[in-house]
């Protein structure tokens, strides 16, 4: 039972953004996106708060009576 002594692989290199460009880029685009999201959330919240609790019913016009004169309707009639 001999152990094979294989060398351990070197760890993968870790990318580090020394200049901070990636962080500034995400922050630059993150602020407007979060501002738009906050405005939409405020609009949705105010629309839920400002609704009437007793909303009037929709006025649906009465349907005119349709009485066929020639007996039952054929099967292809919509």
**Which residue has better confidence, 12 or 28?**
28
Provide the number of structural domains found in the chain.
1
4-8, 14-18, 55-59: segment of lowest average pLDDT: 55-59
Q: Report yes or no on 36 lying in a domain.
A: yes
Q: What is the pLDDT of residues 15-54, one digit of tens each?
A: 777 788 888 888 999 999 999 999 999 999 998 887 766 6
Q: Report yes or no on 32 lying in a domain.
A: yes
pTM of the model: 0.45
Q: 43 φ, ψ to 5°? A: -65, -40
Q: Report yes or no on 39 lying in a domain.
A: yes
Q: 9 φ, ψ to 5°? A: -70, 150
Q: Report yes or no on 70 lying in a domain.
A: no
Q: If pLDDT is split at 50, 70 and 90, which confidence band does 4 have?
A: low
Quote the CA–CA distance of 73 and 3 in Å, as a whole number: 90
Q: If pLDDT is split at 50, 70 and 90, which confidence band does 14 have?
A: confident
Containing structural domain, residue 30: 22-46
Q: Report yes or no on 78 lying in a domain.
A: no
Torsion sign across C-alpha atoms 66, 69, 72, 75: negative
């Amino acid at each position: 039972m001999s152990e094979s002594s294989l060398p351990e692989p070197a760890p993968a290199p870790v990318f580090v953004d020394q200049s901070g460009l990636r962080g500034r880029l995400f922050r630059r685009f993150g602020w407007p996106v979060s501002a738009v999201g906050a405005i939409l959330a405020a609009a949705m919240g105010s629309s839920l708060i400002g609704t009437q609790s007793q909303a009037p019913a929709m006025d649906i016009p009465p349907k005119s009576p349709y009485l066929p004169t020639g007996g039952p309707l054929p099967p292809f009639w919509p």
